[in-house]
Amino acid sequence: DIQMTQSPSFLSASVGDRVTINCKASQNINKYLDWYQQKHGEAPKLLIYNTNNLQTGIPSRFSGSGSGTDYTLTISSLQPEDVATYFCLQHSSRWTFGGGTKLELK
């Protein structure tokens, strides 16, 4: 089974900051990597699919990059409404989520 290691598990940043969240796969996942946002008490929402494709309706301040085993979610300018937990998901072989990153405002 493919394991996903997400970092950091907790992140505190200020409005306007550039924020990056990382996921590392235990083997090459060929860019089959998605990012989800989950606000408190809500269902997860798809932000980015297949590494760098922005889901319809998602603000352009969100972007993704990576290849092989290493992937990154970037928020270019943090907004208050971005406070949430973020998860990565690999779907190269079955489906495995990262452990999550809780993002809070400083």
Residue 45, interface with another protein (CB under 8 A)?
A: yes
Residue 61, interface with another protein (CB under 8 A)?
A: no
Question: Which three-class secondary structure state does DSSP give residue 80?
Answer: helix
Query: How far is it, in rounded angstroms, from Cα 32 to Cα 71?
Result: 10
Query: Buried (b) or exposed (e) across 59-91, using 16+ Cβ within 10 A?
Result: eeebbbebeebebbbebeebeeebebbbbbbbe
In the list 37, 49, 84, 103, the residue contacting another protein (rule: CB under 8 A) is: 49
Minimum CB separation of residue 51 from another protein in Å reads 11
In the list 55, 63, 69, 72, the residue contacting another protein (rule: CB under 8 A) is: 55
Residue 43, interface with another protein (CB under 8 A)?
A: yes
Instruction: Kindly tell me the burial class for residue 25, based on how many C-beta atoms sit within 10 Å of its own C-beta (0-12, 13-18, 19 or more).
Output: buried
Residue 98, interface with another protein (CB under 8 A)?
A: yes
Segment interacting with another protein, rule: CB under 8 A, options 16-24, 45-53, 57-65, 69-77: 45-53
Q: Which of residues 65-94 bind another protein (CB under 8 A)?
A: 87, 89, 91, 94
Longest dimension (CA), the chain: 38
